Every structure is written in C-alpha cells, then in structure tokens.
Structure 1
Amino acid sequence: MLRRILSQRRTVVGTADAFHHAPPPILAESLNNAVGTHFVIVIVTQPTGRPRMTRNAAVRRANDNHALWETLMNARVRRHALLATGLLTLATVATNAQAAPLQAYNVDPASVSVSGLSSGGFMAAQLGVAYSSIFQAGFGVFAGGPFDCARNQNYTACMYNATPSITTPNANINAWSGNQIDNKSNLTNRKIYLWGGTSDSTVGPNVMNKLKAQMDVFGTAANIKYDTTSGAAHTFPTDFAGTGNNACSSAASPYISNCSFDGAGAVLKHLYGAGLNARNTGTLGGSVVSFDQSAYLSAANGGGATGYAYVPANCASGGATVCKLHVALHGCQQSYGKIGDKYIQNTGYNKWADTNNIVILYPQTTVDNTSHSTWSSGSVANPNACWDWIGWYGANADQKGGTQMAALVAMVNKVTSGYSGGGGGTPPATVPAAPAGLSVSATTASSVSLSWSAASTATSYKIYRGGANVGTSTGTSYTDSGLTASTSYSYTVSALNAVGEGVQSSAVSGATQAAVSYSQSVTATVTTHYVAGRLTVTQYNQMGAKYGYNANMTLYLCGSTWTNSATCGPLS
C-alpha cells in the first residue's frame, strides 16, 4: 500500500527549519505544483540529532502558500518533524487550497496610482488614460509604449526600438474622450513618470519617446518626468542586488537588474511628491498577503488565480491611519508562475511602501497558450503571461469595461472601499459625479460666463478651458475673462470633495463677441458728462458715487452707446 502511495505522490525534501520557519512565499515556491495533488514530505535526521534535509526538485503551481502552509501545520508536520529519529515519511492527503478574499483598507481613493514594466507598462498607460478618474495620483511606465499603440498596427511596430505611429491612437483618445475612456482633460492634472534604458532592444527608447510625445499632445508636459539609464537593457531598474537579479545590461529572467537607479523610489516620489519618508532598508514591518484573484479575472482572460499585496503594518491595523494605494504591474515572463515572488520582493516598492503607508497591489497574469484574435496582429497566444495591450481579450481591451482593466479597477475599488478618513466623521464614499447642465450664460468681447447644476457632495469646482484648468469656484457659476474677441472656447467643469476630483462634465462651447472700436473719447467730470447727455441719471449717480461728481473720467462712444470701457464693454 505504501509503495502504491509513494508511486502516486510527488516527494519534497527539505529541512525541518525550512518547513517551520520559511516565510510563506518561499514555502510556496518550494511546493509549487503541490496544490490539488498528493505529496510526501521526507525528513532526514543527521547524527547531531537535529532534523536536516536536502532540497529536491521543488514543485511548481501553488496558488495559495498561506492556506497550504496552514494545511501542512494542521497535518502535524511540526510534531512529526520533532519526533523524527531516523528516516520518516509522512503522507498527507490532497487539499484544494484557495486564497482569502481581497481585503478593504483605509485607503484614500484620491491616492491611487499605477506603474508597470513592459506589457505592464503598456497596461499602466491604458489604465492611466482610460480610467484617469480612478488613478488620480497618476501612472508610471517602465519600458512600455503609447496608449492604443497596437490597435491599428502590428504589435511589432510598438517594439524592437521601432518608431510607431501615434496619429490614430491620438485620434482615438479625442474621439473616445468622455465615453469609452474618461475625459482626456483629466490628463492635464495627472503626474506621469517614464523610464527607459538606452540599450533596451525589446521595446526601446524610440517607443518610449513616442509615449512621451503622445502625452505631451494632451497637455501633460508640465507633470511628466522622463528618466533614462545609459546601458540599461529591457529590465526593471533597482539600486540593490536582490537575490537572482541581473546586471543592468542583461535582458534575461527575472528582468530585474541592479542599475544603480532606484526605479521604484523614482516613480513613487514623482507620483506622491518628494516629501516621502526615506525607504526602509532593513527588515520590513509590513507583510505580503495573498488573495483570491480569480474572483476578479479568470484564467481564460489571462488572470492568475492568486494575487498579492504588500500591506504596511499601519495599514493592516484597521486604525485611523489613511494609506495610499499603488498598483505594480509585472511584465511578460514575470508572473508568479514564471519567477515566483521576485517581482514582489526584489523591485524595491515594498521598501518605500513600508515607511510611507502605501499598500502595493501586485496583480498576476497567467500563461495562456490558446490563440486569440487580436486588433491588428492576427491570431496570437499569450505564453509569456503578458498583460493585454494588443487586444487578446476583447476589442475594448484598452477602453473602460475592457476585461483585464475592469478587473484591475474592481480590485482597486475593493481596497479603497475601506476608506474612513482619519477620524472626525464619515467622508463621502466616492468623488462627485460630473456636474450637469453646463451652459454659457453670457458673453462679451473679452469674457465668457458659465453656469451649471450643483453636483451632490461637491464642495468646489474646477473650470477647464481647452483642457487646461483656468479657475475654481465654490458656487455654480464662473466668468472667464481676458479672452480674445470673436473667438470660440471649449469648457468643462469638474466637482471636488474630500475624496478627490471627479470626472469632468460634457464640454460646452462659448464664443466671445466681436470687438467694437469706439469712435470718440471724451475726458470730463462726471457732472459734465451728465449735462452733455453722455450719462443717464442712474449712471450719473453710480459714477458719481464711484469716482466723485467733480472727478474726471473718460467715456468712449461705441456705436451710439457711451461706456467707460476702451474695449466697448459695458459701463462699470
């Protein structure tokens, strides 16, 4: 019977210390492929009396290291290890371990940001553009490319240091704004971080430069930081030598390299400001937790069964500390199934998160060997577990509602659903809706006046002209002055509350009136103007009270009307 059991089970050999004290991610890597199968643990005792083992081939598919660890403990592995005096074989029954649900934390929804490498960089750009109302703190792209790059050209045109066209992608941003994607004018207020290696031949500097050019078109230039590292290959840059990391010039698994450049710190400091606390270079106080990602994204759509998050101690406590959220997206060939927890542990995000109360969400993809029709690249499989930037999982892959993006946003919404602020009452749960009823209420040759309906929970409003913020208002009206005569302007308005800024309203156009030149000017006292018939009684009283009845003032004849405006505006 035992011989039959052993022939049907895989054997994992390791030290008792490894099984008792190894952190769950390492244990999961040791027992990869064990979930859903039978396995045998063999412990060998050395002459010293202390149980020691050698590691055999580690099994590769653990979806939930925490649940598996608990199962091992419940199976009395510890007791058997301590009682071992010779060669002990312990057979355990199968368990279909499943991670716990993703938890909610006291995270400010206005603090959400995202970054990614390679396909994760393309996805970060997609999220930052399409869901700009969600990723309000901005987005970062490491060795990625333009939004919508592969929709109308083969994906290879967006790689290998090619120079992709952004004409159609930019036209799509304009056409989709406010519908398939959030309003493009949101981008003017978003921080954007870009990084590329000069020796990257997988994506390449030319592709990154096109992303920069694309974002510049939409008014982001003042908020973009673009770093490059000389000699860096296609990799995630760090300034420390993590276990298994490469030299900076190496484009090989795990695609994380010591480039003497802190990529995680650079993107987080740009998105959240230079005032971040110094990173923790010692033992971290928070922990990596796993969650059931299949509740959000299926394997059929490229999703890994288990996702991970780094949660600082202050954020896990459920106290009054208000935390931030950053979504860190791995690249192709960097999923947990490909490189274990290296992207989670070796990129450096957690070091900054630990001292700045930032929850880091690490969603995961999975290998998909099924061929799928793509936008413009034919029928292609996804064996490298890339994020979808070529249309594998739907024509709307880079639009709101796209399968992978909607899943990522749902994870974000779950994390931020625990937001309760820092005390002092219950804040609004979400940002306000877009103001309705925006209209032009009046115009002159140099101004346009706007009005709109109040948005629920709004405390103030931002007014945008041509995508640029030109003013704020605590009421539901605003006059934009100093404009050019006979010119049409486009306006949108957004509402703000304690959570943050909502999406912008539908646009409305307003044209200034034609300039009217005065035909005559007269400088005299207010009384003289009245006697000459240039002022009515009401105007005489108004001007007298303003200037003094015997003070000189200049009036201009515009058509048949006298005014004190040299541009023929109304008398004021």
Structure 2
Amino acid sequence: MTSRLHAAPVSLQNFNVDIAQTSVSGLSSGGFMAVQFSVAYSSIIRGAGIVAGGPYYCAQGDTETATRRCSCSGFNLTSSCEVAPGSTNVDKLVEITGRRAQGGAIDATAYLANQRIWLFSGQQDSIVPPPVMQDLYNYYRNYVGEAAIRFRKDINAEHAFPTESYGNPCTALGKPYINNCGFDAAGELLKWIYGDNLRTRNTNGLGGRLVEFDQTEFFPDRRPRRHGMADIGYAYIPASCDKSMNQPCRVHVAFHGCRQNADSIDDVFIRNAGYNPWADTNNIIVLYPQTASTFGRNPNACWNWFDFNRDDPDYANKNGRQMAAIKAMIDRVAGLTTPPDPAPRCFTASNAEHVFAGRAHDWFFLALANGSNKFMGLNNFFTLTTLKQTGPNYYVVGNCL
C-alpha cells in the first residue's frame, strides 16, 4: 500500500477547461452517483462510465429498496436480496426522471442523447448483480442510442474496480475493491467517452501532480462531514494542464465506491485505479472527491444515492448537497468561480454564531474552534470571540493584526 499524501490542503484552482467535455465514472455507490450526476447535470456531461451501478433514482429514497432491489448490500440478517430482472422498475424511474426534468430539478433529458455511456458488470458480482446493470442499460436506452452505449459483461469479475495488473484476484471480494482482471477499465471507459484517438497512457512515470484540496469550501455550512463528505478531496493535474502550459483540458470525476475513500484505504484508489496514466497524456484533470462515514446510517462512507441521513430529499437532484458540491468543484476547475483569497481571515461574532457558521463546534455547552480545538468559552450569544482562519476548516483564537 502506498503512503497517503501529506501536503497541506489547498483551494481548488482554475484551469483552462471546457466544462462541456466533463465526464464521470464510478464503482458501486460511486457508480450510482455517476449515473445520478450524468442525468441531473446532463447538459455538461460528455459521457459516463459505470462499474456496478444502477438506474437513476433507483432507491427512491428508501434504504430497503437500495439494499434489496438495487443491490444486495443489506446489513439486516433477516433481510433477503430481491434483485431480479426488472426489479428496479425502470419504467417508473423513467417516469420520475421525466417529471423532474420538466420541473427543472434536473437538466432536460434531451441532453442525454449527446452522451457516450460505458457499462461494466462482473459476471460474479455479488453486491450489484448483473440484473441491476441490465436494468441500467435499459434505462439509458430510453435516452441514448444503442451505438453510443458499450456494455461489457463478459469478464468473470466480482464487485470491484477492474484493472490490468493491480489488486486482488478478479473473483475476490474485499478491500481495496480493486481487482487484477487483466482489464484496464479506466482506460477503456475514457477511450469510449472521448474516442479511440486518445494518446496511449503514460507508462514511464507520471509527469503531473496529485494535490489535496479543501472540500469544505463547496458546502454553504463548511461542514461536509455532516453531509457524508470528507474535509479533503484529491485531484490529479497533468503537467500540460498547469497554468504555465495553458493547454485546453477536460475534467473527469472519478467516484470511489463504499469503503474506498481515503479514510479507509489511503490513496490506493487514487493512485492505482488506472485513471492517472491516461489523464497524463490526454490533458484530463481527474477529480477524486472523497466521502466520509456517517455514524449509524452510512458507516461505509458510501455516496448519497438513497438519502442515508434522511435529511436531503433532493439528494438526486441538482441541488442535492453532495451533487451541488461536486458541480461547484467542476465549476471551480473550469474557471466559472474563483478560489477564495488565500490571506488569513478573521471573524468576530458570538460563540453561538461561530458554531452555527461552522467555524467552531459545541462540546458539552462549550465552544471549541474547529481544527485547533481551542477553548472559546460558553456556547451562547453573549460571549464574543475573534477567530482567525489559518487553513481549510482550521481556526485559532486571535486576530489578523
């Protein structure tokens, strides 16, 4: 296992990016998330690559449906898997998609016709069995021509991201959920989405850089862990895309699966799934947004494709909290928004206002500054404190003099 990055998180920067060339992919909950994103923001998506995912809004906000009909991932010993051909009810999901598009909650479905879709279903997948992926194919066929969909279902693979040479045996199930299947899924999906004219991947050592970036900036309350996402995300920036080169570039968002986030397996998915060597030679910036476990309802740090906290009924729409955060990351990279001023910022307010704004947190009726955990006094509206921000979600008691 490679060691995790240790550089200080930075603000995600602007690059010379055509947002209309954005693409997404993912495994498992990341596959469901990639579908969700490709449908909700279809106007900017060039294509999607799905490994072990299912149709848009498959769970319909219900955990039992998510773990019994859209997958076989239930935790209840009395629960039985009900996955079967047609168990996701594609016709109903298509109807819901149409209603949401008409209401503006997601982009018009006509944009989906412009996408290129790559699907992979392992023959031995025990978590998202092949019938779910067949339903996903049937769902996309309502909007995308057959010639624009590539469906690979001919490899004896378990529930994992397939690579050419890295990971567990192809039929194994377990961390890091990357399997050596003699098959380069990352390369195949990128070639399908962007065309076979992609330059061959870099096999002689990567020339770009991995960066850790601040995900708190993309949440209004600056507390992503409340919404199932980590404080830090990752990005691979090819040398050709750095500002000094000013080359036109594209963005690909790679959604890891459950228990594949950096808190669980360090940077193994980021470094070994296979995206970076292709990105390096083809001017593709790869975003690796990160989830975080949520006590009780989401212990495995899955993406929100079933409203796990029961507090985001718009989770599958454009204004869902995770969805909007990912779109904001893409907007930042594409230069549609600007990074915050790197200079230290000071905030003077009551301790209760600091806690509400996400600069501090409550600890037994006391207020502690986020990051430094410095004592501020009672958590009330009468005690005033000045907090100085010295890093992403890191505050100290003091001033900016």
**TM-score grouping bracket, smaller chain normalisation:** 0.7 to 0.9
Q: Tell me the secondary structure at the aligned position of residue 217 of structure 1.
A: coil
Pick aligned residue for 2:99 from 155, 158, 175: 175
State the match for 2:157 in structure 1: 232
Q: How do 1:122-137 and structure 2 match up within 5 A?
A: 122-135=32-45, 137=46
Measured after TM superposition, the shift of residue 27 of structure 1 is 5.4
1:303, 1:365 within 8 Å by CA — same for their partners in 2? Answer: yes
Pick aligned residue for 1:158 from 70, 83, 96: 70
Mapped partners of 2:318, 2:19: distance in 1: 18
2:27, 2:161 within 8 Å by CA — same for their partners in 1? Answer: yes
Gap regions ≥5 residues in structure 2: 73-82, 338-401
State the match for 2:317 in structure 1: 399
Mapped partners of 1:399, 1:239: distance in 2: 35
Measured after TM superposition, the shift of residue 26 of structure 1 is 2.0
State the match for 2:365 in structure 1: none
Measured after TM superposition, the shift of residue 218 of structure 1 is 2.0
Pick aligned residue for 1:316 from 242, 261, 273: 242
Q: How do 1:182-193 and structure 2 match up within 5 A?
A: 182-193=107-118
Q: How do 1:52-451 and structure 2 match up within 5 A?
A: 65-67=6-8, 99-135=9-45, 137-151=46-60, 154-155=65-66, 156-160=68-72, 161-162=83-84, 163-178=87-102, 179-241=104-166, 245-297=167-219, 298-370=224-296, 381-392=297-308, 393-417=311-335
Measured after TM superposition, the shift of residue 138 of structure 1 is 1.4
Measured after TM superposition, the shift of residue 287 of structure 1 is 1.0
1:105, 1:418 within 8 Å by CA — same for their partners in 2? Answer: no
The two structures have a TM-score, normalised by structure 1, of 0.53
Mapped partners of 1:308, 1:111: distance in 2: 20
Measured after TM superposition, the shift of residue 169 of structure 1 is 1.0
Q: 1:263 to 1:207 in 2, by over 3 A?
A: same
Q: Which has the higher strand share?
A: 1
Larger radius of gyration: 1
Mapped partners of 2:39, 2:323: distance in 1: 11
Mapped partners of 1:291, 1:159: distance in 2: 32
Mapped partners of 1:366, 1:27: distance in 2: 16
1:187, 1:220 within 8 Å by CA — same for their partners in 2? Answer: no
Mapped partners of 1:181, 1:204: distance in 2: 28
Q: Tell me the secondary structure at the aligned position of residue 92 of structure 2.
A: helix
2:258, 2:301 within 8 Å by CA — same for their partners in 1? Answer: yes
Measured after TM superposition, the shift of residue 122 of structure 1 is 0.2
Asked which structure has the greater RCO (Cα within 8 Å, sep 6+), the reply is 2
1:106, 1:318 within 8 Å by CA — same for their partners in 2? Answer: no
**1:429-473 CA distances to partner (integer Å, 9 max, x unpaired)?**
xxxxxxxxxxxxxxxxxxxxxxxxxxxxxxxxxxxxxxxxxxxxx
Q: Percent identity?
A: 43
Q: 1:382 to 1:131 in 2, by over 3 A?
A: same
Q: Tell me the secondary structure at the aligned position of residue 20 of structure 2.
A: strand
**1:491-528 CA distances to partner (integer Å, 9 max, x unpaired)?**
xxxxxxxxxxxxxxxxxxxxxxxxxxxxxxxxxxxxxx
**1:342-376 CA distances to partner (integer Å, 9 max, x unpaired)?**
11001000010011111000000001014xxxxxx
1:104, 1:414 within 8 Å by CA — same for their partners in 2? Answer: yes
Counterpart AA for 2:88: P
Mapped partners of 1:414, 1:228: distance in 2: 36
Q: How do 1:473-488 and structure 2 match up within 5 A?
A: none
2:3 is the counterpart of 1:26? yes
Measured after TM superposition, the shift of residue 196 of structure 1 is 1.0
Mapped partners of 2:143, 2:214: distance in 1: 37
Q: What is the root-mean-square deviation in Å for CA atoms of aligned residues?
A: 1.6
Mapped partners of 1:411, 1:230: distance in 2: 34
Runs of 4+ residues deviating >3 angstroms: none
Measured after TM superposition, the shift of residue 219 of structure 1 is 3.7
Counterpart AA for 2:187: G
Counterpart AA for 1:148: Y
Measured after TM superposition, the shift of residue 211 of structure 1 is 0.4
2:4, 2:266 within 8 Å by CA — same for their partners in 1? Answer: no
Gap regions ≥5 residues in structure 1: 1-24, 29-64, 68-98, 371-380, 420-572
Counterpart AA for 1:147: Y
State the match for 1:502 in structure 2: none
1:143, 1:208 within 8 Å by CA — same for their partners in 2? Answer: yes
Mapped partners of 2:251, 2:21: distance in 1: 6
The two structures have a TM-score, normalised by structure 2, of 0.76
Q: How do 1:462-473 and structure 2 match up within 5 A?
A: none
1:181, 1:400 within 8 Å by CA — same for their partners in 2? Answer: yes
2:162, 2:185 within 8 Å by CA — same for their partners in 1? Answer: yes
Mapped partners of 1:295, 1:147: distance in 2: 27
**1:531-557 CA distances to partner (integer Å, 9 max, x unpaired)?**
xxxxxxxxxxxxxxxxxxxxxxxxxxx
Mapped partners of 1:116, 1:394: distance in 2: 21
Q: Tell me the secondary structure at the aligned position of residue 270 of structure 1.
A: helix
State the match for 1:479 in structure 2: none
Counterpart AA for 2:127: T
